[in-house]
Amino acid sequence: MKKKERIEFIIQELERLYPDPQVPLSHTSHYTLLIAVLLSAQCTDERVNLTTPRLFKKADTPEKMMHLELEEIEEIIRPIGLTKQKARALKELSKILVEKHGGEVPSTFEELEALPGVGHKTASVVMTQAFHLPAFPVDTHIHRLAERWKLSSGKNVVQTEKDLKRCFPEALWNKLHLQIIFFGREYCPARGHDKKQCPICSRI
């Protein structure tokens, strides 16, 4: 199958399997989405979703978060891992949002990536899911599948993002990144992957 045909097949199959993918992290605002995505680094979405209700009950705005004691944040988010690093980032970025952005989450990569604990992938998720601006966040699932599907060399996530943006129409990026994540979890795992049973790998 030629690359162009492979890309078209992947789009069609993902659309068939996941016609309406939803953000897997529970959130109620741009701010709680940002916090949930930051906390999900090196942690499962399920674990984050079990932890954030208690956190957001105490602080679902940057104003409330900046006034929580660091120890209190640490105690709540401990099950997520990287506790001290993430707790410090939550408190510091919340203070910056209040002092520099009027308590609102900014809508540019430059401003988002300037916040403590916010890398390019976190910023990309917020840009696409909160503000519906074109971005292609690359997590471990997307990085793995891009290489398996021969859409990227897989050297690093930066290169994978560039390659995927060249492969797929910009209008599809926001939806595709969720579709690929769900597909990777359900059909195309890192370990124990049965290529013959995979709806995409078995056909390309």
Active site residue 121: yes
Protein fold of 3-21+135-197 = Endonuclease Iii, domain 2 (1.10.1670)
* Active-site option among 86, 91, 121, 175: 121
Q: Burial letters for 45-68: b for 16+ Cβ neighbours within 10 Å, e otherwise? A: beebbebbeebbeebbebeebbeb
Is domain 30-129 annotated with CATH 1.10.340.30?
yes
The domain limits of the chain are 3-21+135-197, 30-129
Q: pLDDT value at position 1?
A: 84
Active site residue 20: no
pLDDT in tens, 112-136: 999 999 999 999 999 999 999 999 9
d(CA 86, CA 162): 28
Query: For residue 45, is pLDDT > 90?
Result: yes
User: What pTM does this model have?
Assistant: 0.91
Confidence of residue 140 (pLDDT cuts 50, 70, 90): confident
The helix-helix angle for 140-148 and 157-167 (nearest 10°) equals 60
The structure tokens 């124990």 sit at: 192
- The token pair at 5 is 């045909």
Q: pLDDT value at position 18?
A: 98
* Active-site option among 139, 150, 155, 194: 139
- Rg of the chain's alpha carbons, rounded to an integer? 18
